[in-house]
Structure 1
Amino acid sequence: MLTLDLHPIFRNNRDIELALRQIVFQAKRTGEPVVQIIHGKGTGQLKGRVLAFLGQKHVRKLYDRVEIDTANTGRILVHFAPRP
């Protein structure tokens, strides 16, 4: 499972989007089944930015589903279809 921890870059929108884009494309390219994105619990603003990024039409085509972890509300799991 690939993991992206957004804590070190949470203040920089451009770095956040770049990191999200890189990990989604890396997972798609390597056939990784799940990406864990750690946004933290905080106020929910960073979680909202992650979900907004993942909800973009061109990004949405790359993965199967998003799971908001109920056991740990500070992370999001992005699931990818197995490569043929």
Structure 2
Amino acid sequence: MLSLDLHPLFRNNRDIELALRQFIFRAHQSGEPVAEIIPGKGTGRLRGRVLAFLEQKHIRRLYDRVEISDANTGRVLVHFTRR
């Protein structure tokens, strides 16, 4: 499973956006069914930014669904449908 840990980038908005964009496109092309983004638990603000990024129209077309585990809210799973 591909994984992106945002902990080292959490203070730099531009780096977060770039890392998310590159990661989602790479995950989409990789053929992996699921990719993991780790914004961490914290206040939930970074997770909110990740979810907002994923809801952008041009990004939303690349994946099937997003899952946030009840057991670990510091992790976002992005599911891709292979056609």
Which range, TM-score by smaller chain?
A: over 0.9
How high is the TM-score relative to the length of structure 1? 0.95
| 1:6-55: CA deviation from partner (whole Å, max 9, x where unpaired) | 00000011111111111110011111111100011111110010000000
Partner of 2:77: 77
Percentage identity across paired residues of the two chains:
73
How big is the alpha-carbon RMSD for the aligned residues of Structure 1 and Structure 2?
0.8
Q: Kindly report structure 1 stretches of 4+ aligned residues shifted beyond 6 Å.
A: none
- TM-score w.r.t. length of structure 2: 0.96
In the aligned structure 2, how far is the partner of 1:17 from the partner of 1:69? 23
1:25 aligns with 2:28: no
SS of the residue 1:63 aligns to: coil
Q: Which runs of 5+ in 2 are unaligned?
A: none
Distance 2:16 2:32 in 1: 20
